[in-house]
Amino acid sequence: MSKISAILLALCTCSTLLTAQTPAATHNPLLRQYRAGETLVWRMKGVNENWHYEIRADGIVKKDSAGAYFEEYRWSNMLSDNQPVTLTPASMEFRQQLSLDPNFNPAMPKLGQVDPKLIGPITDLMTFYVDLWLAVKTGQLVHAGDHFYVKNGTPNSWADGTYVLTGQSAIDFDMTLKALDHADNTAIVLIRHVPPEPSQIRMPATWMEKPIADTPNNWVMVSKTPDGKYVAGVGKETFDVEMKVSLEDGRILGGSMDNLVKTVMRQCEDQTLTKCSDPMPHPISRKIEISLAP
């Protein structure tokens, strides 16, 4: 999945919350108990196709003017393919706000000034937080084995109109409280991002309508090449986000993200995508791990 797609996942998640159900009246074991001034340090490792990176995020808990708590992070110590990265001054000054407080409304950070290498880590950490925030907000995950499905399905576009002429993805959220370990005082939460049925994406060419996997296609892209031709792709995108959560205060203790896009790509001579090469499989795989430093 591209870095831009990761940004759109977060936007998609936020829009889903508009239709989320009212939290259950029973005790919510995942509810975050914040303390102003609390500090947190995240270590992230990622594999994005052939790119390997590591990075650190240092955070402190603050409270906004409405009384909602949030965590403010700065990013540093980045390694790209085992080589140190010197971040720009604007990237070092960038501060990211994340929260598990159900009274806090997630917002997309302004990424225009940060180093492009930071966009993936920033949006991936946001994905972990917004996924758990959604589970807390709905209040439906209370007992081990509880399961809740949030329908979203509305396509989100990352097309810029110049290079990417069509770029859309659509997902639903399949949430499960996998385990409650009272001896260890932790919970395991799984959020699966899955293709909606039926697909609401309007495909720009009829050959894109045929599923390339076992569900309707929920990812499509058409981009223009420098020589005036086109690259078109369609496929199935999924995420599995699993987190270990403290039952003591609701902190995320660690997590993993497994993101796979199964696509076929074709080189096309015309914008109507009728004069194209044979389809070629092009799987896109990303794996992200985060761990909270003691």
> Tens digit of pLDDT for each residue in 59-112?
999 999 999 999 999 999 999 999 999 999 999 999 999 999 999 988 888 888
291: which 2 tokens? 């761990």
Q: CB–CB of 193/9 below 8 Å?
A: yes
Predicted local distance difference test score (pLDDT) of residue 144 = 96
Selection from 188, 216, 242 nearest residue 30 by Cα: 188
Calpha distance 59→56 (Å, rounded)? 10
Task: Give the residue carrying structure tokens 């092009």.
Answer: 282
The Cβ-side half-sphere exposure at 197, using a 13 Å CA radius, reads: 7
Selection from 208, 222, 218, 236 nearest residue 159 by Cα: 222
Helix (H, G, I), strand (E, B) or coil at 178: strand
Domain boundaries, the chain: 3-292
- What letters, b where the CB count within 10 A reaches 16 and e where it falls short, cover 66-96? eeebbbebebeebeeeeeebebeeebeebeb
Selection from 139, 255, 124 nearest residue 186 by Cα: 255
Q: Which residue numbers in the chain have pLDDT < 70?
A: 1-26
The string of DSSP letters for 186-205 reads EEEEEEEEE--SS-----SS
73: which 2 tokens? 């992070």
